Amino acid sequence: MIRQISAREIFDQLGERLKLRWLAGLRGEHRLIEQGENLQRRPSLVGFLNIIFPNRVQIVGIDELKYLDALESRQRWDTIAKIMGYQPIAIVITRDQAIPADLREAAEESGTAVWVSSKPGHELLTYMQYHLSRALARNTSLHGVFMEVYSVGVLITGDAGAGKSELALELLTRGHRLIADDAAEFTLIAPDVLDGTCPEMLQDLLEVRGLGILNVRNMFGDTAIKRNKYLRLIVHLGKLEELHANEGMARLHGVTSTRTVLDVEVPLITIPVGPGRNLAVLVEAATRSFILRGKGVDPAQTFIDRQAHQMRRQTPW
């Protein structure tokens, strides 16, 4: 699904925060920025006035207005016409500067939205670029329970009936936090960063077979819910019998691999599900081990090094 955002949506979402006022070109509220546009253009989605490679949101500051004022009347009108001809989604004038009459006239004729803000240009640029990048970023939905375990974003996956929700309930009782159940949404906010959130319809809810839908916030309090978290680790609940054939080195390193999510390789640990296994403790241990590996601590390699050292000591020379 292609994500898009309109001028009206941008204004509604950022108008109060950036102190925007809509002065001209109300017909421009129907213009859209679609996902991927910033990949096909040399500049960013938002930038200071650029006539050669126009931004979708053009910011007009003090220097930009001075540039227009320095042009001869015919050249000035041609420049303004060229700006409007590129059909920017909006033009934002900074620091409450007065909008030139010819710029307002051209905006009304072309249906280009013109906003005025009391904020300086660099603040408008930074905030709007961040907002639009997130709004139009690639995203996907993954089946599983997304939780914060020891401050790490952990997605618990597995087949239907594997016990994901029961495991999440046990982790909640142990002080960890729920982000999303059943369908977590992940957005690529940086080349290697996946931000996970919960769909609005599923907010605060956890479905457990036999108990139905539970409201986690009401049962465990506000601290049991986390609004969003970066995805760092995937724990997959696998069948015990499927892992016997691959024991070997897995006895040392565990069953580890990676899963590609929006072109990002996410570490994946498979935990065999069997009678009597305390999955909550195993997930906590897997998360602690992941944190230690990130610090360069590898118990399996330590054991291998000790064994090699012992064999060298026993080898006759």
pLDDT band at 39 (very low <50, low <70, confident <90, very high): very low
CATH number at residue 128: 3.40.1390.20
pLDDT digits 0-9 by tens, 285-316 = 999 999 988 888 777 777 777 878 788 877 66
Q: Report whether pLDDT(276) > 60.
A: yes
pLDDT digits 0-9 by tens, 42-85 = 457 888 988 888 888 999 999 999 999 999 989 999 999 999 98
pLDDT digits 0-9 by tens, 96-142 = 999 999 999 999 998 899 999 999 999 999 999 888 888 888 889 99
Active site residues: 143, 164, 182, 251
Classify residue 113: in a domain, yes or no: yes
Q: Under a CB-based contact definition with an 8 Å cutoff, are residues 95 and 124 in contact?
A: no
Classify residue 313: in a domain, yes or no: no
Classify residue 316: in a domain, yes or no: no
Query: How far from the centroid of its chain's Cα atoms is residue 89's Cα?
Result: 24
The pTM for the full model equals: 0.75
pLDDT band at 27 (very low <50, low <70, confident <90, very high): confident
Classify residue 314: in a domain, yes or no: no
Mean pLDDT for 206-232 is 91
**Count of domains in the chain?**
2
Spatial separation of the C-alpha atoms in residues 171 and 222, rounded to whole Å: 15
Mean pLDDT of the chain: 86
Look at residues 186, 166, 182, 206 and name the one whose alpha carbon lies nearest to residue 261.
186
Specify whether 126 is located in the same domain as 195.
no
Specify whether 231 is located in the same domain as 249.
yes
H or E stretch covering 91: strand 90-93
Look at residues 261, 268, 266 and name the one whose alpha carbon lies nearest to residue 235.
268
Terminal C-alpha separation, the chain: 68
